[in-house]
Amino acid sequence: MKRGIASAALAGAMWGLVLMVPQWLPGFSPWLLTVTRFALYGLASLLLAWPLRHTLRAKVGRSDMRALALLSISGNLLYFILLAAAIQLVGIAPATLIVGVLPVTITLLGRGDEGAIALSDLKGPLLMVLAGIVCINIDTFALPDAGHALSERLSGVACALGALACWSHFAASNARHLRRHPRFDSHEWSILLGMMTGLGALLLGAAALAAGLPLTRSAANGGDWAAFWLACAGMALGGSWLANALWYAAARRLPPTLSGQLIVFETVFALLYGFVWLQRWPKPLELASLLLLLGGVCWAARCHARPALRDDMPLAPARQAG
């Protein structure tokens, strides 16, 4: 379990950094950031897949292809384009706040899966996570936002809610597929999903260009484009391939109700990176939110550890009777 939690934390640290990119590069359209990131991810995955091509060809079936196609859309392409749009429209704090509800939505979606514990046992951790999210909400919306019009804020919230729905579906469906098909290790599954996502990104890019969608939201110079390519390469390798492999490793070792709690690391790290970017310390409500979110995750991990410890104990009278 410790290795699973560590893998999820590292994945969250990388995804939190990815959330900063639309804030760093506000002049580039969400669809261009999405297409470039995942096209590079697909290219890297293709190169990594070449030495394993015979093994992968023998393992992949039609059901796997269907799952990969759906997961690439919900967990990568549609999720990130909606999230990037939300960050640019309403700001990183509100967008991070809404996506921070993922521990709750994933827990609810995974409540009927094997290894999940009763929701009644998770009421305390879930309430702590929700309290942390409320603290961020109060701090974010306590003052009017002069930098974003009401229509932009409403559109940004809608995009963030759509991103929340997409990744909730991805996390639950991906974990179930990996448990039902243990023939794939984390590296192989990351490569397969990367290639499928890369293909989808190329199709999305072609459709966007055919529709005449603009590449940028404002004028960009040579330095902006250099930062764009560097950020997209970093998102492709660190935020997609490596982070996904770490998350799949965590999904194999942890029940969905616990992995759903650990996605909160993405929110925590995104907020920490934001403080570094703004060059300031967290305000009281922000600090309270971080402590509540982390406390809820630790409490949830403890709730899951108790049954595992009981199962690993020497035979006790109660268990001998069964």
Cα 75 to Cα 211: distance, rounded to the nearest angstrom: 24
pLDDT for residue 305: 60
pLDDT for residue 38: 94
Q: Is residue 244 part of a domain?
A: no
Cα 246 to Cα 242: distance, rounded to the nearest angstrom: 6
Q: Is residue 316 part of a domain?
A: no
pLDDT band at 144 (very low <50, low <70, confident <90, very high): low
Nearest to 17 by CA among 277, 246, 225: 277
Q: Is residue 223 part of a domain?
A: no
Q: Is residue 60 part of a domain?
A: yes
Six-digit token pair at 61? 């079936």
271 CB contacts (<8 Å, ≥6 apart)? 16, 93, 96, 136, 282, 286, 289, 290
Continuous segment of H or E residues that includes residue 162: helix 150-180
Host domain of residue 59: 2-217+254-309
Q: Is residue 289 part of a domain?
A: yes
Number of domains making up the chain: 1
Identity of residue 308: A
Q: Is residue 239 part of a domain?
A: no
Nearest to 162 by CA among 244, 78, 105: 78
Cα 69 to Cα 54: distance, rounded to the nearest angstrom: 21
Q: Report H helices in 112-149.
A: 123-141
Q: Is residue 226 part of a domain?
A: no
Least confident of 82-91, 116-125, 259-268, 306-315: 306-315
pLDDT band at 209 (very low <50, low <70, confident <90, very high): very high
pLDDT for residue 114: 59
Angle at 144 between CA 103 and CA 220, to 5 degrees: 80
Residue-wise pLDDT for 162-200, tens only, equals 999 998 888 888 878 888 888 887 778 888 999 999 999
Least confident of 27-31, 53-57, 157-161, 185-189: 185-189
Residue-wise pLDDT for 70-121, tens only, equals 999 998 999 999 999 998 888 877 788 788 777 777 777 766 665 556 667 7
Q: Is residue 194 part of a domain?
A: yes
Residue-wise pLDDT for 232-243, tens only, equals 999 988 888 788
Nearest to 277 by CA among 24, 18, 78: 24
The reported pTM is 0.80
pLDDT for residue 318: 34
Greater confidence (45 vs 130) lies with 45
Cα 198 to Cα 220: distance, rounded to the nearest angstrom: 25
